[in-house]
Amino acid sequence: MKITIIGTGYVGLVTGSCLAHMGNQVICVDNNKNKIAKLKKGRLPIYEPGLKEIIDSNIKDARLSFTTDLSSAVQASEFVFIAVGTPMDEDGSADLQHVLAVAEEIGDTIDDYKIIITKSTVPVGTAEQVRKTIKKKIETRGLAINFDMVSNPEFLKEGRAVSDFLSPDRIIIGTDSERARDRLEALYNPFCRTDGSRILFMDIASSELTKYAANAMLATRISFINEIAAVCETTGADVDQVRIGIGADNRIGRRFLFPGIGYGGSCFPKDVQSLIRSAAKMDIDLQILKAVENVNRDQKNLMVRKIKDYYQRDDLKGLTFAFWGLAFKPETDDVRESPSAVIIKGLLSAGAAIQAYDPAAIETFKQMYELPIKYNADMYACLEGADALVLATEWHHFRRPDFARIQNELRSPVIFDGRNQYDPDYVAGRGFNYISIGRRSVREANETAAR
Ligand SMILES: NC(=O)c1ccc[n+]([C@@H]2O[C@H](COP(=O)([O-])OP(=O)(O)OC[C@H]3O[C@@H](n4cnc5c(N)ncnc54)[C@H](O)[C@@H]3O)[C@@H](O)[C@H]2O)c1
């Protein structure tokens, strides 16, 4: 099958390479010339486990190519995926300018029947807007070219994007065309050979809303457990035990109930806000989601409050913090809306100095935030001479670090853990003062030394 993917970011690149991996002929288009030039040389613009191998092998077998020429790509394809960014507008709505610009370009260039697919996360009604935009352009050209619209939102998780795409929990296809439905089913069948019922067909509006509702539900679980964590801290309960206790109920389940320093990334914050905004435009007040957002905003500031409480002062001048983790979650270099940025800015503005380590996200963080940070390529060297360690992203190799080395490098043995990676008793036994989320703090061991 011949496919064009427009937008070669986290979603477009994974979609394109995984579709090529199944034997399809895929052209990936982007208007960022540097990105395309890099990709043509086999260099990836993002970090995503397993992606490089798939891209390399499909380029080698001539199933995957990259271009800035949207027109030729569209003309050579039956399926045209729109996977460009839909960032947050100033008021929190989804900014559709890239999607609609692409629709105009498709309308200017389409020469034969195509299936146009919105893969970007877009509010209900966007596929119709794209349809109208393309139709209008075709009419302006004095032509009558048939095409179908499909909404096919993406559910991959950064850090596991390739395996999510190759073995999806479900594939949502919203369309009003039998022809498009059959073709999409044929395209996606190889990804669902064990269970074809994972391809779910629905109308376009329901498909568009499913994506927002899914992210809103997941964000709600995170804010919910973060609120429960706050209750744990003041009552002496342990949020780890509570989450295991509630997660044992099948109706609740264990996943997505980890307390922390708030959700970030390019999806949850923007999708929750976009859903709130688009509902408000229809006079629907999404009260739960507004609370979810507020709790999350507070949660991102929680660690700075905890640090100030620990030192019993608002002014952190003279203190240096070693910071482990800049990405918004492990296994990605994505730092958009990362809680780390909020915490680092809070510490810097209180006068502290920061030395930071992340295995994948140092370059992206530098580019996006331009903060006065001393970056370190080594997780232990990053600790040298710091007054405390702040853990903000749960990369696997932070789970069982060399605590003796941490203690040697730090000026005082203090860990602020935003991801509850360690057992409080274990770190206490090794002489650390340890502050985490929703669990008892260990402050006795070296209280005096730490001040
Ligand atoms: N990142 C995720 O984990 C994820 C998961 C599911 C859904 N989504 C959604 O998928 C969409 C894309 O997200 P992303 O993270 O891949 O974005 P991204 O910012 O990484 O990539 C978007 C790409 O589109 C390109 N682009 C913009 N305008 C263009 C145009 N006119 N022509 C050609 N290319 C153009 C940009 O140069 C960029 O390379 C968004 O709507 C997002 O909400 C993202």
Gap between the Cα atoms of 255 and 395, Å rounded: 18
Instruction: Domain count for the chain, please give it.
Output: 3
| Same domain flag for 85 and 185 | yes
User: What value does the mean pLDDT of the chain take?
Assistant: 96
Expressed as residue numbers, the domain containing 219 is 212-237+250-294
pLDDT of 63 reads 98
| Same domain flag for 263 and 188 | no
Per-residue pLDDT band at 194 (split at 50, 70, 90) = confident
- Tracing tokens 């052209």 back to the chain, one arrives at 27
Gap between the Cα atoms of 47 and 360, Å rounded: 7
Q: Virtual CA dihedral for 88, 123, 6, 69, nearest 10 degrees? A: -80
Per-residue pLDDT band at 447 (split at 50, 70, 90) = low
Tell which atom from ligand 1 comes closest to the C-alpha of 334. 1
| Same domain flag for 324 and 286 | no
| Same domain flag for 265 and 365 | no
What is the 129 CA–ligand 1 centroid distance (Å)? 18
Gap between the Cα atoms of 174 and 119, Å rounded: 11
Per-residue pLDDT band at 104 (split at 50, 70, 90) = very high
Give the residue whose CA is nearest to atom 25 of ligand 1.
7
Mean of the pLDDT values across residues 162-187? 97
**Residues in contact with ligand 1 (CB, 6 Å cut-off):** 6-12, 29-32, 35, 83-86, 98, 101-102, 120-121, 154, 156, 158, 266-267
Higher pLDDT, 92 or 292: 292
Gap between the Cα atoms of 405 and 398, Å rounded: 13
Is 242 part of a structural domain of the chain?
no
Measure the CA angle with vertex 361, ends 358 and 364; round to 5°: 145
Is 243 part of a structural domain of the chain?
no
Gap between the Cα atoms of 42 and 53, Å rounded: 10
Say if CB 174 and CB 203 are below 8 A apart: yes
pLDDT of 449 reads 46
Tell which atom from ligand 1 comes closest to the C-alpha of 46. 20
| Same domain flag for 187 and 216 | no
What is the 11 CA–ligand 1 centroid distance (Å)? 6
Tell which atom from ligand 1 comes closest to the C-alpha of 270. 43
Q: Does residue 81 register a pLDDT over 50?
A: yes
The fraction of the chain above a pLDDT of 90, given in percent, is: 96
pLDDT of 443 reads 83
| Same domain flag for 415 and 312 | yes
| Same domain flag for 98 and 153 | yes
Is 139 part of a structural domain of the chain?
yes
CATH number of the domain that residue 90 is part of: 3.40.50.720
Q: Is there a catalytic annotation at residue 267?
A: yes
For the CA atoms of the chain, what is the radius of gyration? 24
Is 166 part of a structural domain of the chain?
yes
Mean of the pLDDT values across residues 302-327? 98
What is the 386 CA–ligand 1 centroid distance (Å)? 38
Tell which atom from ligand 1 comes closest to the C-alpha of 102. 31
Q: Does residue 171 register a pLDDT over 90?
A: yes
Q: Does residue 445 register a pLDDT over 60?
A: no
Per-residue pLDDT band at 444 (split at 50, 70, 90) = low
| Same domain flag for 75 and 133 | yes
| Same domain flag for 143 and 233 | no
Is 244 part of a structural domain of the chain?
no
Per-residue pLDDT band at 291 (split at 50, 70, 90) = very high
Mean of the pLDDT values across residues 264-286? 96
Per-residue pLDDT band at 448 (split at 50, 70, 90) = very low
Say if CB 150 and CB 180 are below 8 A apart: yes
Half-sphere exposure (CA, 13 Å, Cβ side) for 183? 23
Mean of the pLDDT values across residues 168-188? 97
Give the residue whose CA is nearest to atom 3 of ligand 1.
158
Helix axes 204-235, 268-280, angle to 10 degrees: 120
| Same domain flag for 123 and 270 | no
Using alpha carbons, list the distances in angstroms from residue 114 to 100, 109, 118, 140, 174: 17, 11, 13, 18, 16
Q: Does residue 350 register a pLDDT over 90?
A: yes
Mean of the pLDDT values across residues 290-307? 98
pLDDT of 196 reads 84
Mean of the pLDDT values across residues 392-417? 97
**Mapping DSSP to helix (H, G, I), strand (E, B) and coil, where does residue 117 land?**
strand
Say if CB 28 and CB 8 are below 8 A apart: yes
**Mapping DSSP to helix (H, G, I), strand (E, B) and coil, where does residue 355 land?**
strand
pLDDT digits (tens, 9 = 90+) for 199-220: 999 999 999 999 999 999 999 9
Helix (H) or strand (E) holding 71: helix 70-75
Give the residue whose CA is nearest to atom 1 of ligand 1.
10
